[in-house]
Structure 1
Amino acid sequence: MRKWLVVGAGLNLGLGVPAVVPVWMVWYLLSNWPLAALGWTRREPTENDGVWPWFVVFGPVVLLFALVWWLANRPVRRRDEGSGALYWSVGAAATLAPTVALIVASAL
């Protein structure tokens, strides 16, 4: 049971390295529009193109990564006999680990 959870964690940690790009893209989009409109962040002062170009550019990249992530995790999850919630939680945390490491390293 635990073998496939560890394999899934390793797989998602490896996928987390290229995931830095789509995670940054989602953050950039959120921080410049809905979160800035709520007053939680400040907009990029040079950003005046609107949202549409970012959906055209970011959308395919984020969707492609999500598809690769799901297709890579599906066979491993089927072999894991543990709960699905545990597997997907560990997978999401492992995927976000490289991004979190970069954020922490940049703050030092």
Structure 2
Amino acid sequence: MSRRWYTPLGVNLLLGIPAIVPMLMLWFLLSNWPLAGMGLTARIPSSEHGDGPHAALLFFGPMIAAGGVLWWIVNRLLARRTQLTAPGYWLLSLTGLLIPTAVAVTVWP
């Protein structure tokens, strides 16, 4: 059963549900990180201390890293049991991971 394409898709859809929080944290970091003087989106005004995104990286970084490592370990074990090619498998896995975040962002009030 794990040789089919829908098994990794289902596993990554399930992993994508709790991954909504690290994905939003990653978006927050990317949108507020200075990139040639500008963030990717409108920056949140910093406090009077001017610590910028470094404090957010201190708090969000470990959770984002833990989510990425967990996703990689699960998919590394599952990739050996499928008949999919490596690029096809990882593209399917990444798509399955991002679907819950995309749904949550589009239906958010």
- TM-score, scaled relative to structure 2: 0.84
The unaligned stretches of length 5 or more in structure 2 are none
Residues 1:49 and 1:38: Cα distance change in structure 2 (over 3 Å): closer
Q: Equivalent residue for 1:57?
A: 59
Superposition deviation, residue 40 in structure 1: 4.6
- CA deviations on 1:16-37 (whole Å, 9 max, x unpaired) are 0011111111110111123593
Which has the larger helix fraction? 1
1:102 corresponds to which letter in structure 2? A
Superposition deviation, residue 39 in structure 1: 6.1
Paired residues in the alignment total 107
The unaligned stretches of length 5 or more in structure 1 are none
| Correspondence list, 1:1-108, <5 A | 3-34=3-34, 37-38=37-38, 40-46=40-46, 48-106=50-108
Q: Distance in 1 between matches of 2:76 and 2:21?
A: 22
Q: For the aligned residues, what is the CA RMSD? A: 2.2
Percent of aligned pairs with the same residue? 37
- CA deviations on 1:41-66 (whole Å, 9 max, x unpaired) are 21112554322212211111011001
Q: Distance in 2 between matches of 1:36 and 1:20?
A: 28
